[in-house]
Structure 1
Amino acid sequence: MNGVGDVDGERRDPRPDAAKWFLSGDDDDRARYRDAMRRACDLVLDEFAAEATPYSGATPEEVDDALARFEMLPHEGDGVAAALDRTEPILRNSVGVSDPTCIAHLQCPPTIPALAAEALLTATNQSMDSWDQSPAATQLERRFVGELCDLFGYEDGDGVFTSGGTQSNFVGLLLARNKVVLEEYGVDVQHEGLPPEARDLRILCSADAHFTATQAASHLGLGENAVVTVPTDDDRRLSMAAFDEAVADLRERGKRPFAIVATAGKTDFGSIDPLGPLAERAAELDCWYHVDAAWGGALALSDDHADKLAGIEAADSVAVDFHKLFYQPISCGAVLVRDASAYDLIDRNAAYLNPVRDDDAGVPNLVSKSVQTTRRFDALKPFVTMQALGREGLASMVEYTIDLAADAARLVEADPDLRLVHDSDLNVVVFRYVPDHGRDGGGPADGPVNGPSADDLNEAIRDSLLDDGEAVVARTTVDGETCLKLTLLNPRTTREDLRDLLREISDRGTALEPTTDDRHA
C-alpha cells in the first residue's frame, strides 16, 4: 500500500460500490436514475392506480403477512429493481385516493403537476433551513408566501411553509403565548420560561374545533385546561352568545383570555365560525386571533365562495393546508401572520445556519420563522400546480365539490332509509342509516337481544364497504350517535357515483338489519 487508494502503485477508486446509487451529472448515474424512475412510474400505474380502487379489502393481518417475507434491515441489498418490486403489496394495499368512492377523510387526490413537482423537489433535496442549502427554493417560497398573504388580505404579512394544520395551529398559538407573556408580564418565554401568572391564560375556541388547539396548549406548557370550548349553534358554528357568556365567566374568575381560535372548515361538519364577529371580540379583548383555515382556506380562490371567509383578513395568524382543497401531495401547509414582525417572538440565530451577519447582509433565512430545522421545499408543489392550472382551475374544483356535496345532501334526504345530520358550508355530508325504514329510535336502535343497534348498523355498513373494497367512507359520532360521512374533495366523483353508493349503503343496512320475526324471536 503506497497511499490511500493505491495498491502496488496502481490507483483504485476508494469509494464504496454503493456510491453509484446517487444522482449526479455522470452518464451512468443519470441512466440509473432514469431507469429507477421509469420502474417506479410503472409500479404506480400498474399496482396502485389500476389496483387500489378504492381499496383491496385486505385486513391488517393480511397486509402484515404480505410484508412479513421481507426483511426490513437486510444485511445485503440486491439492487433497485428488486427493491422496487417489493413495493407491490404496499401499493396494492394502499387506499386509492383518486378513486371516486375514496371519500372518507380530508385526504385529497393530488394533481399530476404536483406529483411531478414532488419528483423534482425530492431529487434536488433542498433544505429550507439556510439560504446556502436552498437558494432558489428560499426565494420561491418567499414570493409564494407573499402572494398568499395578498390572497388573504395581509398587506404587511409574512409566513412560512409547514407540515400541515397541526404545526400551523401550534405556531399561531406559540406566537400568541409569547406575545402576551412578554407584553403583560415582561417575561421572555424563550429565555426565562413561563411565569406563574401564565396559569391564568385561556384560549377560546368552538366545541367542534380541531383537537390541535388543545394539543398546542399542552405542548406550550399551558395545559389542556387552558382551552375553553364554546358551544355551537344549530349550524355547528361557534355561538356568539355562548362566547360572551364564557368570557364573562372567565373574567369573573380572574382568568385572562389571550387567544381566540376560529375554525374555517370543521373536520366533521365543514362549518365556518363567525369570523367577522370574532375578529371584533378579539380586538375588544386584546386577544390574538388565529383562524384555522386548513380546510376552508381554499375558498379564497373562488369568486363564488370567498365571501364565506369575510373577516379572515383581521386574523393575527392563519393556518392553510395545501394537501386538502389545493390538491397537493402530503405534506404541504403554511402559517401566515398579518404582521411580519410577529416572527421576532420566536427568532433565533445559529452560527452554522443563519449568523447575524447574514441578516445584516440581507440574506434571507427562513429557519427563524419555523419550528422545524430541516424542512422540505414543499412550496414547489403548489407553485407548479398553479402554473399548470391557475387559480381558476383550482377554484373550479373547489366549486364543483361543494356543489357535489349539496347534491349528495339532497340524495340523502330523498332516501327514506337515510337521515341527513348536517348540511355543510363545504364539501362534506354527514348522515345516518335509519333502521327499520325510516324509524330512528325504538326497535333496533334500543339494542334488542336478537339484533344490532342503530349505531352498530352504521358501523357495520362502513366496515363492510371497506372490507369488500367497495368504498372508503368515514364514520364519526354526532350527539352520541354513530354517523357516516362523505368528504367530497375528489373532482372526479360524480352525482351518479354518489347515487350508487348511497343506494348500496341502504341495501347493506337493510341486509344487516334483523327482520321483524328475528327481533321478536
Structure 2
Amino acid sequence: MATMPIPHALPEVGLGALATLNLLAPLILGGATRLGHPAAMAQMDPPTPWISWATTLWNASLNQNLLHPATAPVARDLEARVVDWLALFFGMDGGHMVPGSTVANLTALWAARECAGVQEVAYAETAHLSVAKAAHILGLPTRPLPCWPVGSLLAETLQGDLSRTALVLTAGATSTGAVDDLCLIGGAAWTHVDAAWAGPLRLRPQYSSRLSGIERADSVAISAHKWLFQPKGSALVLFRDATHAHAAMSFGGAYLKTPNVGVLGSHGAVAVPLLASLLAWGRKGIAARIEKCMAMASEFSAFISADKRLELLALPETGLVVWRPVDTEATDRLHAALPPGSTSLTSLPSGRWLRNVAANPSLDLGAFTTAANAALNDI
C-alpha cells in the first residue's frame, strides 16, 4: 500500500472522473494477473469473453434488482431462462443464480435441512472449505471422510445410518480435480453434488459420462465463473425438485410483491452476461473451449510422464494436472523457476505438488512446456 497512488484518507474534494480513471487504470489494469496470458495455467479462473464485458457494463448502468419484479421485469425472466437451459444438462428441474459456489453449497444444504430434515453433513476431507462453512452456519455437525491419494472419497468409509445425513460429493476437487463416486447418490437423506469446477463437462458429450449419475442428486452447484467463462459472482444452485426446495427457503415481506427465495435479498442481473455468452457461443462453442482445455491437460500430462525427472499424481480427470519433480525437495525451486502466474502449489498428504489448471483456452502449451523444460534444467 505504501507505493500505491491512492490517498490513505477519503479526499475532501474529488479528483473528477477522468483524472480518477487515469489514476486507476495503470494500477487496476496494469497490476492485475492476466488470466488469458499464453502461459496462464495456474488457477480455476478463466479469461472472460468480451461480450460479458459489454453486458456487465449494461448491468452496472441499469442497476437492476431482481428482488422486485418492478425494478427488473426483463432480468428476472432472463435468469429463469438461463437456469432452465442449464438445469436440463444435470437432470434438475430448476434453481436460481447465486454469487458463487460457496453460496450455492450453503443454499443446497439449507434446503437439505428444511426438506429432508438432515442432522449432519458428510463429505470427503478434500471437499471445498465452503461445505464445512455452510454446515457451521446451519448448525449441522460435520463428518469429514478419508480420501484416496488422488483426492476422491473412499466410498467404503461412508457407513452407518444415513437417514439424517446430507452427503456432499465433489465433481472436480479444488486441489486435484478428482470426482467422487457418483454411484453413492441416493444413499443418504439428501445428496448434493458440488460441481463448481467440473459441472460444465456435461455440455460436452465426450466427457458427460464422467459425471454420470449426477441427475439423481437432490441438488447441484455450478460456478459459471469457472468453466462457463463468466466474470466473478456468477454461479447456479440447481434442484431436482426446485418447487419444493424454493418453497422451503422463501420469505415474504410487506414491501415484496413476490416471496424472496434463497440466501440473497437484493441481487443484480448476473444472468445477462451468461445469457449473452451462451447465445453467442451456443452449447457447441462452450464445449469446444472445454475440449481444448481438456486436450491441453492431457498433452501436458503426457509431457510430464515422458520426463524421468518428474512424477504425475494421476492422469487428469477434469483438466487439472498435479505433478512435481522426483526430487521432491526441488518442488518449491521449480515452482519459482516457472513463468510467473503459470503454476500454483497445493499441499496433499503426500507432500507439496505443482498444480496446473486447464482453464485458459488461449494457453500456448508448446511455449509453456519449453519454459518448464528450461526451468527443470536450471534447478
- Find runs of 4+ consecutive structure 1 residues off by over 6 angstroms: none
Residue among 292, 301, 319 paired with 1:400 = 292
Q: Is the 8 A contact 2:148 2:154 kept in 1?
A: yes
Report if aligned partners of 2:109, 2:166 keep a CA contact under 8 Å in 1: yes
Q: 1:347 to 1:67 in 2, by over 3 A?
A: same
1:116 aligns with 2:51: no
Cα shift at 1:264: 0.8
Unaligned runs of 5+ in 1: 1-63, 182-197, 355-364, 441-453, 511-521
Shift of 1:507: 3.0
- Conserved in 1, the CA contact under 8 Å of 2:104 and 2:237? yes
- Write the letter of the residue equivalent to 2:197: W
Structure 1, residues 468-511: CA drift from partner, whole Å, max 9, x if none?
x6443210112241111111110111330331232133134x2x
Kindly report which structure 2 residues correspond to 1:55-454, keeping only aligned pairs within 5 A, or say none: 64-71=1-8, 73-87=10-24, 88-154=26-92, 157-181=93-117, 201-222=119-140, 226-233=141-148, 235-243=150-158, 247-248=159-160, 251=161, 257-275=164-182, 277-282=183-188, 287-339=189-241, 340-354=243-257, 365=258, 368-435=260-327, 454=329
Specify the structure having the higher radius of gyration (Cα): 1
1:444-469 Cα offsets, whole Å, 9 max, x none, are xxxxxxxxxx1xx322433454xxx6
Indicate conservation of the 8 Å contact 1:95/1:102, yes or no: no
How many matched pairs? 377
Cα deviations by residue, 1:384-403 (Å, 9 ceiling, x for unpaired) = 00111111011001111111
Identify the residue that residue 458 of structure 1 maps to in structure 2.
331
1:492 aligns with 2:365: no
Are the aligned partners of 1:206 and 1:230 in contact in 2 as well (CA < 8 Å)? yes
**Alpha-carbon offset, residue 417 of structure 1:** 2.3
CA deviation string 1:428-450 (max 9, x = no partner) = 11111233xxxx5xxxxxxxxxx
Q: What's the TM-score, normalizing by structure 1?
A: 0.69
Work out which structure has the larger RCO, using CA pairs closer than 8 Å and 6 or more positions apart in sequence.
2
What is the alpha-carbon root mean square deviation over aligned residues? Answer: 1.9
Q: Note the residue ranges of structure 2 that are not aligned, 5 or more in a row.
A: none
CA deviation after TM superposition for structure 1 residue 151, in Å: 2.0
Q: Secondary structure in 1 aligned to 2:70?
A: helix
Deviation at 1:314, TM superposition (A): 0.9
Say if 1:213 and 1:227, in contact at 8 Å, map to a contact too. Answer: no
* Distance in structure 2 (CA, Å) of the matches to 1:107 and 1:481: 24
d(CA) in 1 for partners of 2:370, 2:7: 39
Percent identity between the aligned chains? 27
